[in-house]
Amino acid sequence: MAVAGAFAALWRYRHFVGGSVRRQFAARYVGSALGASWNVVQPAITVLIYTLIFGSIMKAKMPGIDDKLAYGVYLCAGMFTWNLFAEIVGRMSTVFIENANMMKKTSFPRITLPAIVALSSLANFAVVFALFLLLLLGTDRFPRWPLLWCVPLLVIETALAVGLGMIAAVLNVFFRDVGQLVGIVVQFWFWLTPIVYLPTIVDPPYRGLFDFNPIYPLILGFQQITALGGSPPWHAIGWVGALALAALAGGYAVFRRHVGEMVDEL
């Protein structure tokens, strides 16, 4: 299946993909009293915890910024961006195993399964980030037109996560320990990225290691836009964009090569 064929297959099965995304979005809260309203309530509580607890109660502050909510906003931007990346990689690493029965019994383009994971994760992110923007608007911190810079950052991040997730997903079919390993790697990766802490607390000789962390420039970009009123570090994002494209191409190549074998292995 060439790349054009993959897009054609996704378009032909767009109703299947869209319906699956909607079902996954709603299924998280089926049977609860508030139902789908939890899609809004839960992220709203998360935003309030980050901004009020860390900003007002714990008095965490950004160096050189006299704003008690600045650190909470900085933390929200980093956490929400990271959560999107981690969710796509984590869920995609097990997507073929979790849908083994459907893959063996039903004829459909297998490429739709990673697409469903990516779109479902983006839908969850959209709800959380929209509430975050409402908070910024209500506290007179809305970034206005620089917010448009979030779009290319989001595209690069999604491409990177999907590429890495597809490689992990294929490997996990043949080597079942890969799924567990992905969770461990993602957990370590989180703490190696300045999200809950500022890079300035790290000793200068080790700060250069952040330059080799591909997710860090993207997270820093969101933080610069929303918390610091600056622009993304475009000089550092260029190589991340190239890496994301390579990861996406590599992930699709691995998937295309082994998609037939996966069904037999499952």
Residue 212: burial class (beta carbons within 10 Å; 0-12, 13-18, 19+): exposed
Work out the pLDDT band at 199, boundaries 50, 70, 90.
confident
The pLDDT, as a whole number, for residue 47 is 65
**pLDDT by residue (tens digit) across 125-157?**
888 888 888 888 888 888 888 888 999 999 999
pLDDT over threshold 80, residue 58: no
The pLDDT, as a whole number, for residue 151 is 94
Q: What percent of the chain has pLDDT over 90?
A: 37
pLDDT over threshold 80, residue 71: no
Of the listed ranges 115-119, 178-182, 188-192, 206-210, the one predicted with least confidence: 206-210
**What phi, psi does 199 have (nearest 5°)?**
-65, -20
CA angle, residues 256, 122, 22, in degrees to nearest 5: 90
Nearest to 83 by CA among 124, 47, 115, 48: 124
> pLDDT: is 113 or 40 the higher one?
113
> pLDDT: is 69 or 80 the higher one?
80
Amino acid residing at 94: T
The pLDDT, as a whole number, for residue 2 is 66
Stated pTM of the model: 0.88
**pLDDT by residue (tens digit) across 108-128?**
888 999 999 999 999 988 888
The pLDDT, as a whole number, for residue 94 is 93
Work out the pLDDT band at 107, boundaries 50, 70, 90.
confident
Helices 112-138 and 150-174, packing angle to 10 deg: 140
The pLDDT, as a whole number, for residue 109 is 87
**pLDDT by residue (tens digit) across 93-102?**
999 999 888 8
Q: Give the pLDDT mean for 185-191.
A: 93
The pLDDT, as a whole number, for residue 185 is 94
The pLDDT, as a whole number, for residue 30 is 59
Residue 12 belongs to what domain range?
3-265
**What phi, psi does 238 have (nearest 5°)?**
-55, -50
Q: Give the pLDDT mean for 237-255.
A: 94
The count of structural domains within the chain is: 1
